[in-house]
Amino acid sequence: MKLSKLAERIEGALEGDGDWEITGIAGLDEAGDGDITFLTNPKFAAVLEKSPASAVVVGRKWTGSSPCPVVRVDNPDKAMALCATLLGPAIPAPEPGIHRTAVVSDDAQLGEGVCVGPHCVVESGAEIGARTVLMSGCHIGHDTEIGDDCAFDPHVIVRHRVKIGNRVVIHDGAVIGSDGFGNYRDGGRWHKIPQIGTVEIGDDVEIGANTTIDRARFGMTRIASGVKIDNLVQIGHNVQIGENAAMAALVGIAGSVVIEADAMLGGHAGVGDHLVIGRGAIVGGKSGIAKDVPPGDYVFGYPALPFRKFVANQRNVSRLPELKKRIAELERRLAELEKRE
């Protein structure tokens, strides 16, 4: 595709020669001749200067210099997503229909164009919306409802009585609706509390590989529309996650936590049970949350503190040897004075 045409497709303003043929798409580090690349973070501008890429997409206000033609756009990340769709390798469309090795209950309801891959299991009473794709080895439990245009990777497990919206993407090996961790102690032993609730997931949610989302003890574990969850994340029973919240890999959310809309949690962050992460709050990677986080706050550490306080603490601790010296010096001088009295 000619660069001029590509620039048009991504609604960008072209600066430079639009006749170049763009044949590929690559990150700044790896882009070569024929590739279009992206400067999404100004701190990598130095990499761009040495890049043999054939074109670069930048933000409208970027003021640096480029060795190749520039396409200015409102949102370089959005342009990247568009280019990946336009220039990426073709993905073979899954064949609609039920694979001969799949085991689908007679009373399951499958919408138009549904694809049920090899070795899938769809239990009694399950409903799957139009054009939803189950790759190989998925398990859909009884009476579970799944919306339209969902894409489930191989070995996704959605247990019984779960509700999932439209356009939900679930990656390989993720488990939705396994039992919550609920036990009571009696006679010196643990006994199981049946987990009779379920999970409700909105539209446009993405759930990472091998992530686990527990069903509620009673009622619902709720994941609102637009939530993005990375790999190997644990969501406990009765958790409520608000719209467009996002969390990175290996995050752990204990039971009955509320994460409000637009909140973000870094990798390995952990939240104790029954706490509230306020709307738009940011929890730094590896933070341990032991009390509510107010809306919009940026917290960090273990136990988590407002980011500035966390940084100040770290700096103060690293300067303790200096404080000790000042105290020793004071002691020396004071002893000197006392001697003179």
Active site residues: 237
Near its own copies in 294-333, by CB under 8 A: 301-303, 305, 309, 312-314, 316-318, 320-321, 323-324, 326-327, 330-331, 333
DSSP-derived letter for residue 20 is P
Instruction: Tell whether residue 161 is a contact of its own copies (CB under 8 A).
Output: yes
Instruction: Tell whether residue 204 is a contact of its own copies (CB under 8 A).
Output: yes
Instruction: Tell whether residue 93 is a contact of its own copies (CB under 8 A).
Output: no
Structure tokens at 38: 């992206």
Nearest approach, Cβ of 260 to its own copies (angstroms)?
14
Nearer to its own copies, 106 or 338 (CB): 338
Near its own copies in 242-271, by CB under 8 A: 244, 246, 248-250, 252, 254, 256, 267-268, 270
Instruction: Tell whether residue 23 is a contact of its own copies (CB under 8 A).
Output: no
Instruction: Tell whether residue 101 is a contact of its own copies (CB under 8 A).
Output: yes
Q: In this structure, how many other beta carbons lie within 10 angstroms of the beta carbon of residue 121?
A: 17
Nearer to its own copies, 19 or 315 (CB): 315
Q: Which stretch binds its own copies (CB under 8 A): 3-11, 51-59, 70-78, 108-116?
A: 70-78
Helix (H) or strand (E) holding 47: helix 45-49
Instruction: Tell whether residue 5 is a contact of its own copies (CB under 8 A).
Output: no
Provide CB contacts within 8 A for 147, sequence distance 6+: 129, 132, 164, 165, 166, 167, 168, 203
Nearest approach, Cβ of 27 to its own copies (angstroms)?
5
Nearest approach, Cβ of 283 to its own copies (angstroms)?
13
- Phi, psi at residue 34, to the nearest 5°? 95, -15
Choose, by CB under 8 A, the member of 214, 224, 265, 282 that binds its own copies. 214
Instruction: Tell whether residue 215 is a contact of its own copies (CB under 8 A).
Output: no
Q: Which stretch binds its own copies (CB under 8 A): 10-18, 108-116, 241-249, 291-299?
A: 241-249
Instruction: Tell whether residue 109 is a contact of its own copies (CB under 8 A).
Output: no
In 3D space, the residue among 174, 166, 112 whose CA is nearest the CA of residue 138 turns out to be: 174
Nearer to its own copies, 99 or 130 (CB): 99
Instruction: Tell whether residue 171 is a contact of its own copies (CB under 8 A).
Output: yes
In 3D space, the residue among 250, 259, 221 whose CA is nearest the CA of residue 237 turns out to be: 221
Choose, by CB under 8 A, the member of 12, 69, 147, 208 that binds its own copies. 208
Q: Are 48 and 31 in contact (CB under 8 A)?
A: no
Amino acid at 64: G
Choose, by CB under 8 A, the member of 69, 139, 149, 276 that binds its own copies. 139
**In whole angstroms, what is the distance from residue 182 CA to residue 194 CA?**
8
Provide CB contacts within 8 A for 1, sequence distance 6+: 9, 21, 22, 86, 87
Provide CB contacts within 8 A for 120, sequence distance 6+: 99, 102, 103, 104, 134, 136, 137, 138, 139, 140
Near its own copies in 110-129, by CB under 8 A: 117-119, 121, 124
Choose, by CB under 8 A, the member of 69, 115, 149, 155 that binds its own copies. 155
Using the CB atoms, write b or e for 153-185: b if 16+ within 10 Å: bbbbbbbbbbbbbbbbbbbbbbbbbebbebeee
Instruction: Tell whether residue 272 is a contact of its own copies (CB under 8 A).
Output: yes
Instruction: Tell whether residue 46 is a contact of its own copies (CB under 8 A).
Output: no
Provide CB contacts within 8 A for 17, sequence distance 6+: 3, 69
Q: Are 80 and 98 in contact (CB under 8 A)?
A: no
